Amino acid sequence: MNLDNITVLVTGASRGAGAAIAKKCAEYGARVVVHYNGNEQAAQDVCAALGGQAVGAVQEDLSVAGAGARLWEKATALAGPINALVNNAGIDLVSDPAGSEADWQASWTKIMQVNMQAPADLSRAALADFTARGEGRIVNLCSRASHRGDALTHCAYAASKGALLAFSKTLARGAAKDGVLVYALAPGWINTEMAPTDPKILGPALAEIPFGKFAEPAEIGAMTAFLLSDLCPSATAATIDINGGSYVR
Protein backbone atom coordinates (compact mmCIF):
# COMPACT_ATOMS: atom_id res chain seq x y z
CA MET A 1 0.00 0.00 0.00
CA ASN A 2 1.42 3.35 -1.04
CA LEU A 3 0.24 6.87 -0.17
CA ASP A 4 3.12 8.74 -1.79
CA ASN A 5 0.58 10.68 -3.89
CA ILE A 6 -1.45 11.81 -0.88
CA THR A 7 -1.39 15.08 1.03
CA VAL A 8 -3.95 14.79 3.81
CA LEU A 9 -5.43 17.10 6.42
CA VAL A 10 -6.39 15.18 9.57
CA THR A 11 -8.57 17.04 12.06
CA GLY A 12 -8.16 16.42 15.78
CA ALA A 13 -4.77 14.85 15.08
CA SER A 14 -2.95 15.89 18.26
CA ARG A 15 -4.16 12.83 20.19
CA GLY A 16 -6.11 9.59 20.15
CA ALA A 17 -7.45 8.21 16.90
CA GLY A 18 -6.50 11.36 15.00
CA ALA A 19 -2.84 11.01 15.94
CA ALA A 20 -2.93 7.32 15.00
CA ILE A 21 -4.48 8.18 11.62
CA ALA A 22 -1.79 10.78 10.97
CA LYS A 23 0.99 8.36 11.91
CA LYS A 24 -0.35 5.47 9.85
CA CYS A 25 -0.86 7.67 6.77
CA ALA A 26 2.69 8.99 7.14
CA GLU A 27 3.99 5.44 7.54
CA TYR A 28 2.65 4.66 4.08
CA GLY A 29 4.12 7.79 2.53
CA ALA A 30 1.46 10.51 2.85
CA ARG A 31 2.30 14.12 3.63
CA VAL A 32 0.22 15.08 6.67
CA VAL A 33 -1.20 18.36 7.95
CA VAL A 34 -1.94 17.97 11.67
CA HIS A 35 -4.91 19.95 12.96
CA TYR A 36 -5.30 20.72 16.65
CA ASN A 37 -7.58 22.80 18.83
CA GLY A 38 -5.72 23.88 21.96
CA ASN A 39 -2.73 21.64 22.66
CA GLU A 40 0.01 22.94 20.38
CA GLN A 41 2.73 20.93 22.11
CA ALA A 42 0.86 17.66 21.53
CA ALA A 43 0.41 18.57 17.86
CA GLN A 44 4.10 19.37 17.52
CA ASP A 45 4.94 16.05 19.18
CA VAL A 46 2.84 14.26 16.55
CA CYS A 47 4.62 16.19 13.80
CA ALA A 48 7.96 15.16 15.27
CA ALA A 49 6.84 11.53 15.24
CA LEU A 50 5.87 11.85 11.58
CA GLY A 51 9.33 13.10 10.66
CA GLY A 52 9.69 14.32 7.10
CA GLN A 53 6.10 13.36 6.28
CA ALA A 54 4.74 16.14 8.50
CA VAL A 55 3.80 19.31 6.64
CA GLY A 56 3.09 21.09 9.92
CA ALA A 57 0.44 21.79 12.52
CA VAL A 58 -2.53 24.12 12.09
CA GLN A 59 -4.75 25.44 14.90
CA GLU A 60 -8.47 26.08 14.67
CA ASP A 61 -11.26 25.81 17.23
CA LEU A 62 -13.95 23.87 15.38
CA SER A 63 -16.60 24.89 17.90
CA VAL A 64 -16.52 28.42 16.45
CA ALA A 65 -18.71 29.24 13.47
CA GLY A 66 -16.81 29.32 10.17
CA ALA A 67 -13.88 27.33 11.55
CA GLY A 68 -14.05 24.64 8.88
CA ALA A 69 -13.57 27.03 6.00
CA ARG A 70 -10.80 28.87 7.84
CA LEU A 71 -8.99 25.63 8.60
CA TRP A 72 -9.02 24.54 4.96
CA GLU A 73 -7.65 27.91 3.92
CA LYS A 74 -4.84 27.71 6.50
CA ALA A 75 -4.00 24.11 5.62
CA THR A 76 -3.79 24.70 1.88
CA ALA A 77 -1.76 27.85 2.42
CA LEU A 78 0.72 25.73 4.38
CA ALA A 79 0.74 22.56 2.29
CA GLY A 80 -0.23 23.63 -1.20
CA PRO A 81 -2.78 21.37 -2.92
CA ILE A 82 -4.39 18.89 -0.55
CA ASN A 83 -6.09 15.83 -2.04
CA ALA A 84 -7.40 14.06 1.06
CA LEU A 85 -9.40 15.12 4.11
CA VAL A 86 -10.04 13.11 7.26
CA ASN A 87 -12.76 14.60 9.47
CA ASN A 88 -11.79 12.94 12.74
CA ALA A 89 -12.32 15.69 15.34
CA GLY A 90 -15.41 15.25 17.47
CA ILE A 91 -16.79 15.84 20.94
CA ASP A 92 -19.33 14.18 23.21
CA LEU A 93 -21.13 16.18 25.88
CA VAL A 94 -24.04 15.29 28.10
CA SER A 95 -27.32 16.32 26.47
CA ASP A 96 -29.87 15.19 29.01
CA PRO A 97 -33.51 15.88 28.14
CA ALA A 98 -34.15 16.07 31.89
CA GLY A 99 -31.47 18.72 32.40
CA SER A 100 -31.79 22.46 32.32
CA GLU A 101 -32.86 24.35 29.22
CA ALA A 102 -29.55 26.23 29.17
CA ASP A 103 -27.46 23.05 29.33
CA TRP A 104 -29.63 21.38 26.69
CA GLN A 105 -29.26 24.25 24.23
CA ALA A 106 -25.54 24.70 24.89
CA SER A 107 -24.66 21.03 24.41
CA TRP A 108 -26.66 20.67 21.19
CA THR A 109 -25.20 23.86 19.73
CA LYS A 110 -21.58 22.94 20.46
CA ILE A 111 -21.87 19.28 19.49
CA MET A 112 -23.58 20.00 16.18
CA GLN A 113 -21.02 22.70 15.35
CA VAL A 114 -17.99 20.48 16.01
CA ASN A 115 -19.34 17.12 14.85
CA MET A 116 -21.44 18.16 11.88
CA GLN A 117 -21.14 21.77 10.75
CA ALA A 118 -17.34 21.96 10.81
CA PRO A 119 -16.89 18.70 8.84
CA ALA A 120 -19.53 19.87 6.37
CA ASP A 121 -17.79 23.22 5.91
CA LEU A 122 -14.41 21.53 5.51
CA SER A 123 -15.86 19.06 3.01
CA ARG A 124 -17.48 21.88 1.06
CA ALA A 125 -14.16 23.72 0.76
CA ALA A 126 -12.32 20.51 -0.12
CA LEU A 127 -14.94 19.53 -2.67
CA ALA A 128 -14.42 22.75 -4.61
CA ASP A 129 -10.69 22.03 -4.91
CA PHE A 130 -11.12 18.31 -5.54
CA THR A 131 -13.72 18.79 -8.26
CA ALA A 132 -11.54 21.33 -10.04
CA ARG A 133 -8.67 18.81 -10.12
CA GLY A 134 -10.85 15.79 -10.87
CA GLU A 135 -9.79 13.77 -7.82
CA GLY A 136 -9.95 13.74 -4.03
CA ARG A 137 -10.77 11.64 -0.98
CA ILE A 138 -12.75 12.28 2.20
CA VAL A 139 -13.03 10.00 5.22
CA ASN A 140 -15.53 10.96 7.91
CA LEU A 141 -15.30 9.49 11.40
CA CYS A 142 -18.88 8.67 12.31
CA SER A 143 -19.85 6.21 15.03
CA ARG A 144 -21.65 3.05 15.96
CA ALA A 145 -24.15 5.52 17.40
CA SER A 146 -24.85 6.71 13.84
CA HIS A 147 -26.79 3.46 13.38
CA ARG A 148 -28.00 2.26 16.76
CA GLY A 149 -28.25 5.52 18.71
CA ASP A 150 -26.73 6.12 22.13
CA ALA A 151 -27.77 6.64 25.74
CA LEU A 152 -30.61 9.13 26.16
CA THR A 153 -28.22 11.49 27.97
CA HIS A 154 -26.02 11.59 24.85
CA CYS A 155 -28.71 12.03 22.24
CA ALA A 156 -27.06 15.08 20.67
CA TYR A 157 -23.88 13.10 20.03
CA ALA A 158 -25.83 10.30 18.35
CA ALA A 159 -27.81 12.79 16.28
CA SER A 160 -24.66 14.59 15.13
CA LYS A 161 -22.97 11.36 14.08
CA GLY A 162 -26.12 10.14 12.33
CA ALA A 163 -26.24 13.42 10.43
CA LEU A 164 -22.56 13.13 9.49
CA LEU A 165 -23.18 9.63 8.14
CA ALA A 166 -26.11 10.80 6.00
CA PHE A 167 -23.99 13.70 4.77
CA SER A 168 -21.16 11.31 3.87
CA LYS A 169 -23.45 9.09 1.82
CA THR A 170 -25.00 12.06 0.04
CA LEU A 171 -21.61 13.58 -0.72
CA ALA A 172 -20.29 10.26 -2.03
CA ARG A 173 -23.24 9.76 -4.37
CA GLY A 174 -23.10 13.28 -5.71
CA ALA A 175 -19.33 13.70 -6.08
CA ALA A 176 -18.32 10.32 -7.52
CA LYS A 177 -18.77 11.57 -11.08
CA ASP A 178 -16.13 14.22 -10.36
CA GLY A 179 -13.56 11.69 -9.13
CA VAL A 180 -14.16 12.41 -5.44
CA LEU A 181 -14.32 9.36 -3.15
CA VAL A 182 -16.05 9.57 0.23
CA TYR A 183 -16.07 6.98 3.00
CA ALA A 184 -17.41 6.76 6.55
CA LEU A 185 -15.99 4.87 9.50
CA ALA A 186 -18.36 3.85 12.28
CA PRO A 187 -16.28 2.71 15.26
CA GLY A 188 -17.59 1.71 18.64
CA TRP A 189 -15.39 2.31 21.67
CA ILE A 190 -11.76 3.11 20.82
CA ASN A 191 -8.98 2.58 23.36
CA THR A 192 -8.16 6.25 23.87
CA GLU A 193 -8.41 8.67 26.78
CA MET A 194 -12.09 9.13 25.90
CA ALA A 195 -12.85 5.46 26.66
CA PRO A 196 -14.44 4.64 30.03
CA THR A 197 -12.25 3.63 32.97
CA ASP A 198 -14.89 3.50 35.71
CA PRO A 199 -15.48 -0.24 36.30
CA LYS A 200 -19.23 0.36 36.49
CA ILE A 201 -19.14 1.62 32.88
CA LEU A 202 -16.15 -0.30 31.57
CA GLY A 203 -17.51 -3.71 32.50
CA PRO A 204 -20.82 -3.40 30.64
CA ALA A 205 -19.09 -1.70 27.69
CA LEU A 206 -16.71 -4.64 27.24
CA ALA A 207 -19.43 -7.21 27.91
CA GLU A 208 -21.40 -6.15 24.84
CA ILE A 209 -18.38 -6.59 22.52
CA PRO A 210 -18.07 -10.19 21.26
CA PHE A 211 -14.42 -9.57 20.36
CA GLY A 212 -13.87 -8.68 23.99
CA LYS A 213 -11.94 -5.43 23.73
CA PHE A 214 -12.06 -1.89 22.42
CA ALA A 215 -10.63 -1.08 18.99
CA GLU A 216 -7.08 0.23 19.05
CA PRO A 217 -6.37 3.67 17.51
CA ALA A 218 -3.90 2.04 15.12
CA GLU A 219 -6.77 -0.01 13.65
CA ILE A 220 -8.64 3.19 12.81
CA GLY A 221 -5.46 4.55 11.28
CA ALA A 222 -4.88 1.45 9.19
CA MET A 223 -8.41 1.41 7.79
CA THR A 224 -8.22 5.12 6.97
CA ALA A 225 -4.91 4.65 5.19
CA PHE A 226 -6.36 1.78 3.17
CA LEU A 227 -9.33 3.86 2.07
CA LEU A 228 -7.05 6.73 1.04
CA SER A 229 -4.88 4.36 -0.98
CA ASP A 230 -7.40 4.04 -3.84
CA LEU A 231 -6.95 0.26 -3.78
CA CYS A 232 -10.74 -0.13 -3.74
CA PRO A 233 -12.34 3.06 -5.13
CA SER A 234 -15.64 1.31 -5.80
CA ALA A 235 -16.15 1.27 -2.03
CA THR A 236 -16.97 4.97 -2.17
CA ALA A 237 -20.15 5.69 -0.14
CA ALA A 238 -19.45 2.66 2.08
CA THR A 239 -19.61 2.73 5.86
CA ILE A 240 -16.99 0.58 7.58
CA ASP A 241 -18.03 -0.74 11.02
CA ILE A 242 -15.18 -1.16 13.52
CA ASN A 243 -16.87 -2.29 16.73
CA GLY A 244 -15.78 -5.84 17.55
CA GLY A 245 -19.17 -7.22 16.61
CA SER A 246 -21.07 -5.14 19.16
CA TYR A 247 -23.42 -3.83 16.50
CA VAL A 248 -24.05 -5.87 13.37
CA ARG A 249 -26.12 -4.40 10.55
Which of 28, 36, 157, 183 is an active site residue?
157
| Residue 157 annotated among the catalytic residues of the structure | yes
Residue of 139, 116, 113, 122 whose CA lies nearest to 69: 122
Under DSSP, is residue 231 helix (H, G, I), strand (E, B) or coil?
Answer: coil
User: Residue 84 and residue 185: Cα distance in Å, rounded?
Assistant: 15
Q: Which amino acid is at 33?
A: V
CB 184 within 8 A of CB 170: no
User: Residue 223 and residue 5: Cα distance in Å, rounded?
Assistant: 17
CB 230 within 8 A of CB 130: no
Q: How far is CA 99 from the centre of its chain?
A: 29
Question: Residue 48 burial (CB < 10 Å; 0-12/13-18/19+)?
Answer: exposed
User: Residue 54 and residue 207: Cα distance in Å, rounded?
Assistant: 39
What does the DSSP assignment read for 27-72? HTT-EEEEEESS-HHHHHHHHHHHGGGEEEEEE--TTSTTHHHHHH
Please list, residue by residue across 97-114, b when 16 or more beta carbons sit within 10 angstroms of its beta carbon and e when fewer do: eeeeeeebeebbebbbbb
Q: Residues with catalytic annotation?
A: 157
